[in-house]
Structure 1
Amino acid sequence: MGQEASKPDPNAKLQVIGCGMSRTGTASFSEALKILLGGPVYHGGSQIVGAGEQHLRDWIELHKHTPIQYEADRKAALEGLKSILGGYTATTDLPPILFTEELVELFPDAHVICTVRDPEDWWNSVRAITARTDTEERDENILRFVLALLPTMRYWYAFNVALKQGRMGELYYSSGHKHPHPGQYQQHMEYVTRVVPRERLKFYDVKDGWGPLCKILGVEVPDVPFPRVNDAKATEQIVMTQVRRGLIAWACLGLSVGLLAFIGIRRWK
C-alpha cells in the first residue's frame, strides 16, 4: 500500500498468485515481481485506493456473493475476479488473497507464492496501526464522515463492511472476532494450505531477497537491488493523505456555503 496503482495491460497473462497475508512484505514482493515479470502487478492496497471508483464498487459487488452458498454465487465470483484482475501479471495482498481458492482454479498455470513472516512480528505490525473495539468503531465513523466527499474513497466504508460480511468475515471472524486479531495470521495460513495443491504452493520471505524468488520463478537474478518497501509506513502515509484531502474538501464546502449565505444575506438586505 502506498505505491502507485498499476495500469492493466490487456496483453498481460497472470503468472503469479501471491497469497501471503498483508504485512508480510507484499509491497516489496509486488515491486520485485514487476521487475521480474516485466508487467503490471495488482497490489491490493495500492489498487483499491488508486484504480478508481468503479474498481472499488466492483469489489463490493463481488463480495455480495460471499460466503458462497449457491452455484450462481460461485460463477459470479469467478467472473468478477476475471474482470477485476484481468491485465495483470501477478496479484498480491488484500482483497485478492481472500480468493486464493478461486484464483488457483482460474489460473492453473500460475505460480502460487505465499509470503511469510514471524507471526508475532506480523501482529505487532498490524497492531501498530489498528485501533481496538469501541475506539476502532468510533474512528471508522469519523473516517467515514471525513472521506464522504472524496470520489472513490467515499465507498471505503462500504468496502470494509462488504469484506467483513463476506469472504474476510468468513475466513477470519467466524470465531466471534470483529477486528484483526493475533490468530488471524494462522487462520490465513490454514486457509492457503487447505485450498492450494501442495505441489503448487511455495513459501517465500522477502528478507531473503532475489535468490529464492528467482528460483521459484525459474528466472535469473536481476542486476538491481531488491526493492524494500515499508508496508506500515506506506499505509500510514496514504491514510493521512486521504484524511487531509477529505478535510480540505469539507473546508472548501464550508467556505462555499458560507460565501453563498453571505451573498444571499447581502441581496436580501
Structure 2
Amino acid sequence: MSVYNTRLWLFLEDYVYYQPRQPRVRAKDRPLQVIAVGPVRSATESLQHALIQLGYEHTYHGWDLLFEERHNMRGWAKLARRKFLGTANSGGDCDITAADFDELMGDAVAVCDIPASVFAAEMIRAYPDAKVIINTNPDLDRWHASAEKNVVAVNRSWFIYLMSWTMKDWFWAWTSCERFLLPGLFRCVGQSLDLGVMGNGKWIYREHCAMVRGLVQEEGRLLEWTAEDGWEPLCTFLQKPIPDEPFPRVNNAVGFQGRIEKLTKRWLMEGLRNLAIGIAILVVVLTVIWKM
C-alpha cells in the first residue's frame, strides 16, 4: 500500500490540512477549445501567452494552479490521487469527466502545462471537440537539463519541503505538484522525482507524445509544434490570423526561479510563524515532561 493511502496520511489531508472545495462552473457558451499536452519545460508559458494573444483569453497553466486567488490545489491533488492511486475497489480504471475538470478550471477555454500533460488522456476523452497540441522541445538533452535545473531543483529543496508542513497552502502546493501531479506524469508517485525525471524522463517524454498521437485519430484535430515553429503553423491549425508582433518568448530559467521565489515569499512569514509556534509548544511539552 502506498503511504499516501494510509489512514495517517488521509487524516493529514482530510483534517489537519483540510481546505474546503472551491468549485467553479463552466458557462455553456465557453467550451474548452484547446488542450496543449506538452510536458513541463516545453515552451508551455510561451504557448500560453500566444494562445491569449490569439483570443483564448483564459488559458489555464500550471502556474494558475498555484497562483490563482481562489486556488484549487487540493482539488487537483485529489484528481491525481484518483488517477494514480486507485484502490482495489476502483475497478482498475480512472473515470475523470469534463465536469470534474470544469470544477477546477472554470471558464478556461484552453489549458496547458502540468494539468494538460498529467491528464492528457482524460482531457482528450472528456472534451472531444477540443483541438490538441503536442508542444515539444525538439532537443531532449536540452529539455532534460532544463528540467533538472528547474523542476527537479524545487523537489530537492529541503527548505521548501520543511516549510510545506507549516501551513495549508504550502502543504497543498507541495502535495499537488511534488507528490502527485509531476510524479504521476513521470511515473514515480511515492518515489523520488529525481528517479522519474533524471532516471527515466527522456523515454517517458517520448512515450507521452506517442500516447497522444495514438489517442487523437480525427483529421485536423492534432498539431505537433515547437516554439521554434512560431506563429504560422499554430495560427493555421487554430484558423486564426497571424499577429503582427513577434512570437512571445517567456519562462526561461530566470523566470521559472523567479516564480518559485515569489511563492516562497508569499507564504514565508506565515510559515515561519507557524513553525515558531510549533517549536514553542514542543518546548513547553518537553519541559513539563522533564519536570514530572
Separation (CA, whole Å) in 2 of partners of 1:54 and 1:130: 21
What residue in structure 1 maps to residue 111 of structure 2?
Answer: 91
Counterpart secondary structure, 2:134:
strand
| Counterpart amino acid of residue 209 in structure 1 | G
Question: Hey, what does 2:16 align to over in structure 1?
Answer: none
Does the residue aligned with 1:113 lie in a helix, a strand or coil? strand
Q: Which residue of 2 aligns with 1:4?
A: none
- Using the TM superposition, give the Cα deviation of residue 169 of structure 1 relative to its aligned residue in structure 2, in angstroms: 5.1
| Cα pair distance change 1:214/1:18, threshold 3 Å | same
- TM value normalised by structure 2: 0.71
Q: Tell me if 1:18 matches 2:39.
A: no
1:191–1:246 distance in 2 versus 1, CA, 3 Å: same
Q: What is the SS of the residue equivalent to 1:23? A: coil
Could you state the TM-score of these two structures normalised by the residue count of structure 1? 0.76
For residues 83-117 of structure 1, the C-alpha deviation after alignment (integer angstroms, 9 at most, x for no partner) is 22331110100032121111112211111011121
Is the 8 Å Cα contact of residues 147 and 246 (structure 1) preserved in structure 2? Answer: no
Q: Which residue among 219, 235, 246 is the counterpart of 1:225?
A: 246
2:212 to 192, 213, 219: 192
- Of residues 213-222 and 77-86 in structure 1, the stretch that sits farther from structure 2 once superposed is 77-86
Q: Secondary structure at the match of 2:223?
A: strand
For 1:8 and 1:43, the matched residues in 2 are separated by 18
Change (3 A) 1:191 1:29: same
> Within 2, Cα distance between the matches of 1:192 and 1:219?
24
Check the 8 A contact 1:150/1:249 in 2, yes or no: yes
Which residue pairs with 1:201 in the alignment?
222
2:126 maps to 1:106: yes
Structure 1 segments unaligned to the other structure (5+ residues)? 1-6, 258-269
Distance 1:111 1:224, change over 3 A: same
Number of the residue aligned with 1:64:
81
Provide the C-alpha distance between the structure 2 equivalents of 1:177 and 1:150, rounded to a whole number of angstroms. 25
Q: Which amino acid aligns with 1:84?
A: L
Q: Measured at CA, do residues 31 and 77 of structure 1 come closer, stay the same or move farther in structure 2, by a change above 3 Å?
A: same
Q: Secondary structure at the match of 2:38?
A: coil
Q: Structure 1: how far apart are the matches of 2:276 and 2:195? A: 38
Matched residue pairs, number?
246
Task: Tell me by how many angstroms 1:8 deviates.
Answer: 8.8
CA distance 1:151–1:214, shift in 2 (3 Å) = same
Cα contact 1:49–1:153 (8 A) shared by 2: no
Distance 1:172 1:113, change over 3 A: farther
Distance 1:198 1:170 in 2: 28
Q: Assess, with a 3 A threshold, how the Cα gap between structure 1 residues 235 and 9 changes in structure 2: closer, same or farther.
A: farther
Q: CA deviation at 1:254?
A: 7.9
**Conserved 8 A contact 2:25-2:102:** no
Could you say what secondary structure the match of 1:220 adopts?
coil
Judged with a 3 Å threshold, the aligned counterparts in structure 2 of structure 1 residues 21 and 169 are, in CA distance, closer, same or farther, namely closer
AA in 1 matched with 2:241: E
Compared CA separation, residues 32 and 136, structure 1 to 2 (3 A):
closer
* Counterparts of 1:102 and 1:253, CA distance in 2: 38
Show the counterpart of 2:283.
none
Report the residue type matching 1:35 in the other structure: Q
Q: Secondary structure at the match of 1:74?
A: coil
User: Is there any run of 5+ residues in structure 2 with no aligned partner, and where?
Assistant: 1-23, 279-292
State the identity as a percent. 24
Structure 1 residue 221, shift from structure 2 partner: 0.7
Q: Which residue of 1 aligns with 2:140?
A: 119
Measured at CA, do residues 196 and 252 of structure 1 come closer, stay the same or move farther in structure 2, by a change above 3 Å? same
RMSD: 3.5
Question: Judging changes above 3 Å, is the alpha-carbon distance between structure 1 residues 230 and 136 closer, same or farther for their aligned structure 2 residues?
Answer: closer
SS of alignment partner, residue 75 of structure 1: coil
